[in-house]
Structure 1
Amino acid sequence: MKNSKTFLFIITLFFVYTSCKKNERVIYLNQLKNKISIMKETPVKPLNKEQIGNTYLINNLHDKYLIINDTECTDNGLLIYDINNFKKLGATGKKGEGPGEISYYYKVIPYKHGFIMQDHSKNIVYYYDVVKAIKNQNYLPLELLHQKDIKDYPYFYRMLSDSLYVGVQARIGSSSNFEVNINKGNLYTGTYKKMISLPNEIDNNKLQCYFASYKNRIIITYFNYNLVSIYDIKGNLIKHIQGEVKLKKNKHKRYYGRPIGINNKLFIPSFYGDGYMKNSRGIIEEVGFNQLLCLDMNGNYIKTLKTSSNFYNAIPLPDKKRILLYRRKNDIAFTTIHL
């Protein structure tokens, strides 16, 4: 009898140990003691007067420029600002279907002395030299690559060299369905290696993910999946961070946005609350984010930075001491927070 009790005790210990090992790379925010800091914010006045349409993406380019995609612009919709004093320097990205023109503004990928932008409708990769674009308002980009009959293309990625990239890549399969993964590949040859498989819900447009690569880390956040995943640059999982979910009348939830990295820390835009509201025209829209989740490079929780009002994008500034928060989509406004 005594031996049987000892055996059961050992089996129980083994089960607990293996369960812990299985989940040791998953942390749950609701099991942590949140350290919430209210951030001091400073308005950025020079951009408040700009008449900009629907701003899709805002980018820090080489710690020198701020590139703003004005998707409603009918001419040059890539606006260039000095990221240190927010002075407007020029605009580029002539919209259209002609040579050197782009039909739809997409992600700005830092590259050499400027940036890459892909026109997926033409299957062309353009390279913009920022200095030349500032000097010449009629500047047309260099056609870096023409991807004919392409079925696999990266659309959010980081260039590791002149040709190698790592990022989110979509593959058009049968019945025009998309298979979306994190791949490492060569932009010129079209060859790639799958690193990380993403959930099937992304293929069916039920799930939106954001990708970022900072130093030797890959960070993936899932907009409505309450999950942050951190990998090393080879695609090995470091940690999943599962956000707490507290539903109240099916409205209150947590979701995450596009990550950024500063001073060996990861900052994840986060929102908790009623995720939607009606605008002045009565249309329901997303309200943005109201927190920045701060983690170390291994995904360990440090603290939560709470902002005074909601924002859409967070952009690291060159001094590595401040983050620029983009506030409103149509009447554009920025503030900075000090870390």
Structure 2
Amino acid sequence: MNKLLYFLIVIISWSCTQNSPTEKFQHKRNNIMNIHDKIEEIQMEDILISNISRIHLIKDYLVIGDYKAPDKLINIFDKKTFKYITSSTYQGLGPGEIANMGYIGVDEDKNKLFVSDHGKQKIFYYDLDSILKNPDYEPKEKINMNGSLFPDKYQYINDTLSISLIIEPTGSSGYNQSVAKWNMSTGEIIPMKYEHPNITQKRINIAANSEINNYVECYSFYDLMTICDLDGNLKFNIYGPNWKTEKSKKQYYGKVIYCKNNILALYSGENNFVVTKDKGIKSNHPTQIIIFDKNGDYIQTLETGYQIIDFCYDKDNNRIIMVFNDNIQFGYLDLNGII
């Protein structure tokens, strides 16, 4: 009788979870479009950029941060034509140099770039117009970073509000991740309210959209996406076809962005690393972009056929710009007719 009662409780709990308005289970995502041939390669002229680079957009410019740069760390291009404009900032410990470059944030309203320096434990800001006039322009210090609790990546909204992915080191090599409101002026960090109860090790990517009052978390080792409002109240948990409560050795989600109020997320479902023909090990990056609406309902999967390191949405030209770890390094996809 006790066993029967136990199973009834389990079944009822499972049924309630499945029917909860906040819990969405997507058992199939089979609306797949192969867009490999639609991707246009971007030629970066004679500028050498390493395979460890990240891209950002600000006004009319594409900014590429090169984390293994043989020369300058920050490269600026015309975002429409991809014509090279200038480069700025050497790696180093001297004035105007960046010792260990981290995330690059963007304030479009004031035309500023924020660059985290994990070597100097500071965030510097650059006036973009000043860089364009003088590539040797030295940035100004914005705020000191706390070594025990600091923003890794963030969506800048204004000086007193960024939705941030916070890192808290644990021991000699471990760390915890969480989402918080971060005040760039004061350094105050206010953790968001919601944490999924079944996640044992949180490794996520985040994006925020202040126009619809949402942020989204996409999990690396779980087939899970969580959508909350900007106060951290849960809106939806989106469970993919491979959802399990146990941490996986596979990578599910990569970077996530908002695009026309839709959510675009890199997705793999494969192992993080693969063995090459010569028995070496190489990173295995996502090749798919999954499109969801703002509530996490599945729309379509775009199969690029390229391993994607990073991507961003160019709203002025309605296209996605991508960084690849493949036989081409940079490319873009025109979204007309897709979104």
What TM-score comes out, normalization by structure 2 length? 0.82
The match for 2:282 among 282, 285, 302 is: 285
User: Residues 93 and 286 (structure 1 numbering): CA distance in 2 closer, same or farther, change over 3 Å?
Assistant: same
Residue in 2 that maps onto 1:139: 137
More deviation, 41-50/262-271: 41-50
Amino acid corresponding to residue 121 of structure 2 in structure 1: N
**How many Å apart are 1:49 and its aligned residue?**
5.4
CA contact (8 A) 1:245 1:254 kept: no
Residue in 2 that maps onto 1:65: 61
The match for 2:316 among 315, 319, 328 is: 319
User: Residues 21 and 241 (structure 1 numbering): CA distance in 2 closer, same or farther, change over 3 Å?
Assistant: closer
Residue in 1 that maps onto 2:163: 166
For the pair 1:306 / 2:270, whether they are aligned, the reply is no
User: Residues 278 and 61 (structure 1 numbering): CA distance in 2 closer, same or farther, change over 3 Å?
Assistant: farther
- Aligned pairs for 1:99-178 within 5 A: 99-111=95-107, 112-147=110-145, 150-172=147-169, 178=175
User: Residues 106 and 281 (structure 1 numbering): CA distance in 2 closer, same or farther, change over 3 Å?
Assistant: farther
Residue in 2 that maps onto 1:28: 25
| Structural RMSD (CA) | 3.2
User: Residues 116 and 277 (structure 1 numbering): CA distance in 2 closer, same or farther, change over 3 Å?
Assistant: same
**How many Å apart are 1:24 and its aligned residue?**
3.6
User: Residues 48 and 301 (structure 1 numbering): CA distance in 2 closer, same or farther, change over 3 Å?
Assistant: farther
State the alpha-carbon separation in 2 of the partners of residues 45 and 298 from structure 1: 33
In structure 1, list runs of 5 or more residues that go unmatched.
Answer: 1-7, 203-207
User: Residues 46 and 200 (structure 1 numbering): CA distance in 2 closer, same or farther, change over 3 Å?
Assistant: same
CA contact (8 A) 2:321 2:330 kept: no
Residue in 2 that maps onto 1:218: 215
User: Residues 177 and 283 (structure 1 numbering): CA distance in 2 closer, same or farther, change over 3 Å?
Assistant: closer
CA contact (8 A) 2:176 2:201 kept: no
**How many Å apart are 1:320 and its aligned residue?**
5.5
Residue in 1 that maps onto 2:294: 297
Amino acid corresponding to residue 211 of structure 1 in structure 2: I
User: Residues 177 and 126 (structure 1 numbering): CA distance in 2 closer, same or farther, change over 3 Å?
Assistant: same
State the alpha-carbon separation in 1 of the partners of residues 300 and 188 from structure 2: 40
State the alpha-carbon separation in 1 of the partners of residues 172 and 285 from structure 2: 34
Deviations 1:285-323 (A, max 9, x none): 223222111111111111212223332222111336321
In structure 2, list runs of 5 or more residues that go unmatched.
Answer: none
**How many Å apart are 1:69 and its aligned residue?**
1.7
Amino acid corresponding to residue 68 of structure 2 in structure 1: E
User: Residues 182 and 69 (structure 1 numbering): CA distance in 2 closer, same or farther, change over 3 Å?
Assistant: same
**How many Å apart are 1:174 and its aligned residue?**
7.1
User: Residues 45 and 54 (structure 1 numbering): CA distance in 2 closer, same or farther, change over 3 Å?
Assistant: closer
For the pair 1:76 / 2:72, whether they are aligned, the reply is yes
Deviations 1:80-135 (A, max 9, x none): 11111111111112210112211112111112212111112212110011221122
User: Residues 300 and 94 (structure 1 numbering): CA distance in 2 closer, same or farther, change over 3 Å?
Assistant: same
Flag the structure with larger Rg: 1
User: Residues 141 and 280 (structure 1 numbering): CA distance in 2 closer, same or farther, change over 3 Å?
Assistant: farther
State the alpha-carbon separation in 2 of the partners of residues 254 and 48 from structure 1: 34
User: Residues 88 and 162 (structure 1 numbering): CA distance in 2 closer, same or farther, change over 3 Å?
Assistant: same
CA contact (8 A) 2:73 2:88 kept: yes
Over the matched positions of the two proteins, sequence identity in percent amounts to 24
User: Residues 61 and 278 (structure 1 numbering): CA distance in 2 closer, same or farther, change over 3 Å?
Assistant: farther
